[in-house]
Structure 1
Amino acid sequence: MKKQTIKKSLSGLLALAMLLALAACGQQSQQTQTPSQSQQTQAPDNSQETQAPEPSQTEDGDPSEEPEGGKTLVVYYSATGSTEAVAGYIADALGADTFEIVSAEPYTSEDLDWTNADSRVSREHDDESLRDVPLTTAEVENWEDYDTVFIGYPIWWGIAAWPTDSFVSANDFTGKTVIPFCTSSSSGLGESGELLAELAGAGEWLEGQRFRSSVTQADVTDWVNGLGLNG
């Protein structure tokens, strides 16, 4: 009886020892897994730090928002369409932008009848104070981007049609190369270019060109190419 009791006791002790050993192993397994899980959940996200900043975030700013410069603009006032046609030829030859000078009160064919002493242009010619013609707008979008500006107009009594004066006096031509051109049936350019340059008070005004009303696109293109502005 004693031997059996001893054997049972030993068996019980061995079983208890095995249970304790298994419990210790399980606890150790849990302890070794916890740091790994903690490291995964607490690791910082560096994706924003490693990404390159957008151009707009740089100190120099976004290059695409800087003025382009070096562009050409063809500004024109046209009473009957002749000057508008020449302006279009110039713009086509240079790939330039255009801007039309428009009087707030458009001139009718009766207004333009210079043979009538009581017509609008005749009265404005006789009374210089009436030549301050309001425009629908004299503001050119991105005006500062244009380095070269053509200015076209019909000749009225030997000078530029006065709506042109309103545009010139309203804009700053500093740093711009300006090339006047005109259309007329008989009159030449005269002093119209010089008078506009005096009115502007800034810019480098080159010698202009007079075109007859029926000038061809080929003739205008030849003149433009002779200016050496294409490159």
Structure 2
Amino acid sequence: MEMGNVPVVVYFSHNGETLLDGKHQQVSFGNTEVVAKAIAQVVDGELVQLIPKQAYPVDYQATLARAKQEMKFEQSPEIGSIKHDFQNEDVIYLGYPIWWGALPMVIQTFLQQVDLRGKSVYPFCTHEGSGFGRSFQELQELLPESDVQKGLAVRGSRVTCAQCAVNNWLGKKGEKYVSKR
């Protein structure tokens, strides 16, 4: 990897109440954030968190209800400004929770705002049993001129042990999926 070209790990994560092993639990950081930080550590990457202008409710069920409404009415929530310039990136790690078997609409907002044509996109997600759901297909449809690569799905209830999965996915030093510049 060329000096000066730091990999970027873009993620959206919900904190507050989450479902772990079928039980509602309070967390101060979301499951996807845990995986994003593990990836950034391996590839020595820059973290870019996507933050909706209108925060999702702390209550897990209320968050899922809002997510369902956004999907039903194809509402892309506004996100805070992104201060990263993606123009010179060739590898993007993109993380999100799986809600209703799909990409959160926050990710669609990001993809509408940032040009990722010609880039390799490595998706990662957290879930409680659905794996990638249909999000991989959605990414391929939303990014027809990008190279959507094999991703990593981590069960939320196992997120505290995600470093091993990240290491297996990326290689111990990220050599599998870093920029070749």
Q: TM-score, normalised by structure 1?
A: 0.62
Where in structure 2 are the equivalents of 1:214-229 lying within 5 Å? 214-215=158-159, 216=161, 217-225=163-171, 228-229=176-177
- Unaligned runs of 5+ residues in structure 2 are 16-29
CA contact (8 A) 1:168 1:196 kept: no
Give percent identity, aligned residues only.
Answer: 29
The two structures, once aligned, show a CA RMSD in angstroms of: 2.5
Equivalent runs, 1:11-22 vs 2, <5 Å: none
1:187 deviates by 1.1
How big is the shift at 1:178? 0.4
Match of 2:50 in 1: 101
Q: Is the 8 A contact 2:68 2:100 kept in 1?
A: no
SS of match in other structure, 1:222: helix
Where in structure 1 do 4 or more consecutive aligned residues deviate above 6 Å?
none
What's the secondary structure of 1:210's corresponding residue? strand
What is aligned with 1:192? 135
The structure where helix makes up a greater share of residues is 1
Alignment partners' CA distance in 1, 2:40 and 2:145: 23
2:89 corresponds to? 146
Conservation of the 8 A alpha-carbon contact between 1:153 and 1:183? yes
Q: Please list, as runs of the form range in 1=range in 2, the aligned pairs for 1:42-81 lying within 5 A after superposition.
A: 70-80=5-15, 81=30
Q: Once the two structures are superposed, what CA deviation does each residue of 1:26-62 show, in whole Å capped at 9, x if it has no partner? A: xxxxxxxxxxxxxxxxxxxxxxxxxxxxxxxxxxxxx
* Total equivalences in the alignment: 159
- Distance in 1 of aligned mates of 2:103 and 2:63: 18
1:82 Cα offset (Å): 0.3
Q: How far does the alpha carbon of each residue in 1:115-157 deviate from its partner, in whole angstroms, 9 at most, with x for none?
A: 98xx4234334x323x2111112x3423112110010000011
Change (3 A) 1:169 1:200: farther
> Which structure has greater strand proportion?
2
Which is higher, the Rg of structure 1 or of structure 2? 1
Task: Tell me the SS of whatever aligns to 1:83.
Answer: helix
In the TM superposition, residue 176 of structure 1 has moved relative to its aligned partner by 1.1
Structure 1 residue runs without a partner (length 5+)? 1-67
Between the aligned partners of 1:150 and 1:115, the Cα distance in structure 2 is 24
